[in-house]
C-alpha cells in the first residue's frame, strides 16, 4: 500500500461544511486517513480566485492505481458542486494529489508529485505540519525544507474555527 497525500480545499459556499463532506466522501473511498493537518485559511493563489480558501492535507494508504485515485477524487469534487470553467478560479471543492508514495508520473491528465507543491505556501504549510520529513521524489528536499525555501509570500493561517 502506498502513501497517498491529498490536499482538499475551496472558497465557495459553506466552506467548513464542504471540507467536512469531502473528508467523509474520501473516507468512503480510501478508508480513514493516517494523518490530517489542521484546517488552514489561505488567500487565493493563481490570480483568478477572489475569496479566501479553506485547505487541509490528508494522508491515506491505498493500493488503488493513481488513475483510479484521480477518478475517485474528481467524482468527490463533482458531488460537491465543482465546475471546471476557469483554471485556478473559484470553486466549491478542489482535491489535488500531492504525492503517491515516491511515484513520479508525468501525463497530461495527471502529474505526481503535484508540479506546484514547492511554489504554494498554502500547500507547504499543512504538508510540513503532517509530513515534515517526507522527501519530494524529484526535488530531493523534505517538505519542511521546501517550506523554508519557499518564496511564496501568500498569507496562510490556521483556521480559528478548526476542530483539529
- Tell me which residues are annotated as active site: 82, 91, 94, 96
Site of grid cell 472558497: 11
Site of grid cell 468527490: 76
Q: Nearest to residue 100, comparing CAs of 87, 88, 86, 114?
A: 114
Angle at which helices 15-30 and 66-79 pack, to 10 degrees? 140
Distances, alpha carbon 88 to alpha carbons 15, 97, 108, 138, 148, in Å: 17, 16, 17, 24, 24
Q: What's the chain's length in residues?
A: 164
SS3 97: strand
Q: Are 135 and 99 in contact (CB under 8 A)?
A: no
Amino acid at each position: 500500500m502506498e502513501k497517498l497525500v491529498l490536499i482538499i480545499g475551496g472558497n465557495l459556499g459553506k466552506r467548513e461544511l464542504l471540507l467536512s463532506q469531502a473528508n467523509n466522501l474520501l473516507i468512503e473511498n480510501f478508508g480513514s486517513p493516517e494523518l490530517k493537518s489542521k484546517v488552514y485559511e489561505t488567500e487565493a493563489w493563481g490570480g483568478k480566485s477572489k475569496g479566501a480558501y479553506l485547505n487541509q492535507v490528508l494522508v491515506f494508504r491505498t493500493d488503488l492505481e493513481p488513475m483510479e485515485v484521480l477518478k475517485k477524487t474528481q467524482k468527490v469534487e463533482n458531488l460537491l458542486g465543482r465546475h471546471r470553467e476557469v483554471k485556478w478560479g473559484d470553486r466549491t471543492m478542489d482535491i489535488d494529489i500531492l504525492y503517491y508514495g515516491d511515484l513520479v508520473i508525468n501525463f497530461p491528465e495527471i502529474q505526481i508529485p503535484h508540479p506546484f507543491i514547492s511554489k504554494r505556501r498554502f500547500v507547504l504549510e499543512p504538508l510540513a505540519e503532517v509530513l515534515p520529513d517526507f522527501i519530494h521524489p524529484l526535488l530531493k528536499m523534505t517538505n519542511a525544507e521546501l517550506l523554508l525555501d519557499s518564496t511564496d509570500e501568500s498569507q496562510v493561517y490556521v483556521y480559528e474555527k478548526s476542530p483539529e
